[in-house]
Amino acid sequence: MSVRARVAVALVVAAVVPLLGVFTVVGVLIPQLVGSERSIRLGEAATATVSILVGDCAAVGDRAALVASRLQLAVSVADPAVSPQQAVADAAGAVVAVAAPSDEPWAVVLLDPDEQVLASGGPGAAGIVADPEAYLNRSCGQGRIGGPAALAVAVPFAVQGEQLGTVLVVSALDTAAVDRLVEAVGLQRGSLVLLDGDGVLVTSSSFTADDPGAQDASGEAEVTAQFEEDLLDEVGTFSAGEIVPEGDPRRTGSVGNRSYVLAGPVLTGDPAAGPGLRVAAVGLPQPSIDRRLAIVFVVTAFGAAVLVWLLSATLTRPLTELAELARRIAAGDDLLAATGTGPDADADADVKGVSAVLGSLARDLRASEADAERRRGAFLDAFSRFGDALQQTHDRDGLLQTVLQAALLAAEAPMGLALHNDRSSRLGRRVLSLRARSRDDGPDKLDEATRQVLQRLAERALAERAVIELVGTDDLGPVLAVPLGSTSRPLGAVVVARDPGAPGYDAVACEAIGALSTSAGTALGNIKEHQEVERLSVTDPLTGVNNFRHLTTMLARELERASRFGHPLGVLMLDIDRFKPVNDTYGHAAGDAVLRELARRMQECVREVDTVARYGGEEFALLLPETGVEGAAKLAQRVLTAIRSEVFHLPDGPDIVVTASVGVAVFPDHGSTATDLMRSADDALYQAKTGGRDRVEVAAPVHVPSPAGLTGSPDRDSAP
């Protein structure tokens, strides 16, 4: 954003914010307060109506119960010769006349057990007599209202267990009744609407009083119908869970140009009966922002913005000219030549002076920038060559040491830490920390607290696979942690830290460390691949144990070590009994499965320092450093037990029992050279085969010179 724009925005804010505050108070807050007050009044009216209707329903029920008790009394005092049905018929007219006087708002109808009318009285009784079934199952005490709207209660009565009839008391809820409710709850300039699950039951006549569309009876009916339709669309299908949230029996909304508060249900005696009767108190529309006030505000704000913009243009013209000079300097213009001639040269003396100063600064800046670019190129080139050298080494510790020292150099940091953590290879985990030596030959190792902080940051960078830069704390300056290798598969991280109060890392340092980390990650990957190749070169591909080549190397090494320190060295030769029939009967895939499982069981029996190797075919050899005859024999028995104790599961074949024979020889009792030792173990294995198989035989102590090299193994299964 330009200087002129920033000044204009500041002035506009200063001028418009007060106007906005006034508009918010007058146009928004006050209408909201008025609307809230109206909603409160509507809610109170709706709640009061609910209370009145509940009381009216209770009164209707009490009247029905009273009539039933009077009929029961009439039957009980009648002549015993008169049947109960006749006694009820005789007393029906008198009881109804007393229970339904003309000045009461309810009608009373007496029905016999066959639901035939015995007597009726009160307002609207004729309509009830015409269709009494429409009211029998609409007890307001059970939340059942329906249309035509009325509060109805049916009470059966019986004497000595005999059903004699039903008392039906009905109080109509017509427009006049709802108008009386409007007056009773003091709802000025408002109306009431009674609804149930089937739709609008009745609407008070007062709700169209303020509507300009209701000028006559036909217009009033049209407005009423439209309002009822819109209200039903607004509240939707009635549901006790939706319309009446737990803890709040009211729902507020608006329909057309009217606001409403919905309260209820009035009666909930039977939840299965439906949602029950609800009351909508309807009032004037919610007040909104006055359009004229909004137009005045918009016009005033626009005029203020225009005036402020013109004022900012005048104030910022000198700054604009200086910005143009800076732009021309960036483009390489010679400002002295451009402004030093012409008839207006004297008038532009100030601009000429500023141009001379800015031009001189620009030339110095370009020279410094070119020099910095040359140093940056040389610096990155050196690191690039250093990275090429890193990719040729297979020494992980030396590599981490070199990477850490180079990172400290690139970042000009006095302390750092390098972390390598590759669980997918034998390299495992390695942490190397270093503090650069000071001029007085201070310590070159980090203190424990600092090392732990840097190690946590390195582990975080490795886990998040992202560069982490922190501004530092009172005990530690700026810190930069960079993953080693690609972000998709980092193999470690390097962390550098400066002393407290030191500046942060610039772009050159970050780029140099980034390039170094990429090369270091490649070098670590090469080390991993080199070790994997080495591992495969000494591993039997079928069983996963060591191969014959590794066996010869380890035997020579362990034999030289045992001879130097005077320690024993045990050698076991193991051969599977009757292995050829397994291949012939079940196939070579079954034989391979047996070899793999047998190798796994042997590895579970030995120590980490022991060596398990496949000697050839179905023969295996075990090297046991610092193990005498007794220990070697015990281990041989443990191996045989592990082999025979559990059946071998063949792929696509049955489970079989496999046994093996073992020959034991120990240096120096059974031979002083590799050849003698292996021959003694081989001879002992032959004895185990000829002695019945599935057994361990220890070689006899012999010291016979033999040709150099390891002996081959005869076919053990050809032994008798």
DSSP-derived pairing of the beta strands 569-576 and 660-667 = antiparallel
Question: What pLDDT score was predicted for residue 644?
Answer: 95
pLDDT grade, residue 100 (50/70/90)? Answer: confident
Residues 479 and 589 in one domain: no
Q: Which of 467, 468, 484 is nearest to 519 (CA)?
A: 484
Residues 678 and 560 in one domain: yes
Structural domain contains residue 5: no
Looking at per-residue pLDDT, the higher value among 46 and 34 belongs to 46
Q: Which of 533, 560, 581 is the last residue of a domain?
A: 533
Q: Which of 302, 335, 365 is the last residue of a domain?
A: 302
Residues 495 and 595 in one domain: no
Structural domain contains residue 346: no
Checking if the pLDDT of 438 tops 70, the result is: no
Write out the residue range of the structural domain in which residue 620 sits: 538-718
Question: What pLDDT score was predicted for residue 665?
Answer: 97
Alpha helices by DSSP H, listed for 340-426, are 349-390, 396-411
Question: What pLDDT score was predicted for residue 301?
Answer: 73
Across the range 254-258, mean pLDDT stands at: 68
Contacts of 647 by beta carbon, 8 Å cutoff, 6+ apart: 655, 656, 657
Question: What pLDDT score was predicted for residue 706?
Answer: 41
Question: At 509, which amino acid appears?
Answer: A
pLDDT grade, residue 341 (50/70/90)? Answer: very low
Across the range 23-36, mean pLDDT stands at: 68
Give CA–CA dist 260/187, Å, rounded: 12
Residues 513 and 561 in one domain: no
- CATH number of the domain within which 442 lies: 3.30.450.40
Question: What pLDDT score was predicted for residue 660?
Answer: 97
Residues 464 and 586 in one domain: no
Contact at 8 Å (CB) between 414 and 435?
A: yes
Contacts of 258 by beta carbon, 8 Å cutoff, 6+ apart: 207, 227, 282, 283, 284, 285
pLDDT grade, residue 116 (50/70/90)? Answer: confident
Residues 522 and 572 in one domain: no
Question: What pLDDT score was predicted for residue 242?
Answer: 42
The structure tokens listed for 292 are 């004229």
User: Percent of the chain beyond pLDDT 90?
Assistant: 22
Checking if the pLDDT of 515 tops 60, the result is: yes
Least-confidence region, from 21-35, 249-263, 427-441: 427-441
Residues 500 and 588 in one domain: no
Structural domain contains residue 382: no
Structural domain contains residue 359: no
DSSP-derived pairing of the beta strands 619-625 and 428-435 = unpaired
Residue 99, SS3? helix
Q: Which of 501, 516, 533 is the last residue of a domain?
A: 533
Contacts of 563 by beta carbon, 8 Å cutoff, 6+ apart: 667, 668, 672
- CATH number of the domain within which 702 lies: 3.30.70.270
Neighbours of 76 (CB within 10 A): 11
Checking if the pLDDT of 28 tops 80, the result is: no
Q: Which of 515, 510, 443, 503 is nearest to 481 (CA)?
A: 510
Least-confidence region, from 443-447, 475-479, 560-564, 657-661: 443-447
Contacts of 147 by beta carbon, 8 Å cutoff, 6+ apart: 198, 199, 201
Q: What is the per-residue pLDDT across 158-212, written as a single tens digit (0 to 9) for each?
A: 887 788 889 888 888 888 888 888 888 887 767 888 877 667 778 777 655 455 5
Residues 550 and 431 in one domain: no
How many domains, the chain? 3
Least-confidence region, from 393-397, 515-519, 568-572: 393-397
Give CA–CA dist 47/38, Å, rounded: 14
Average pLDDT, whole number, for the chain?
A: 76
Q: Which of 450, 518, 435 is nearest to 483 (CA)?
A: 518
Residues 527 and 592 in one domain: no
Question: What pLDDT score was predicted for residue 717?
Answer: 46
Structural domain contains residue 328: no
pTM of the model: 0.39
Checking if the pLDDT of 691 tops 80, the result is: yes
Contact at 8 Å (CB) between 385 and 356?
A: no
Residue 534 phi/psi, 5-degree rounding, is -60, -40
Residues 544 and 686 in one domain: yes
Checking if the pLDDT of 704 tops 70, the result is: no
Structural domain contains residue 150: yes
Q: What is the per-residue pLDDT across 603-634, written as a single tens digit (0 to 9) for each?
A: 999 999 999 999 988 999 999 999 999 999 99
Structural domain contains residue 378: no
DSSP 251: E
- The two counts, helices (H) then strands (E), for the chain are 20, 21
Across the range 427-439, mean pLDDT stands at: 50
Residue 172 phi/psi, 5-degree rounding, is -70, 145
Structural domain contains residue 117: yes
Residues 520 and 555 in one domain: no
Residues 78 and 213 in one domain: yes
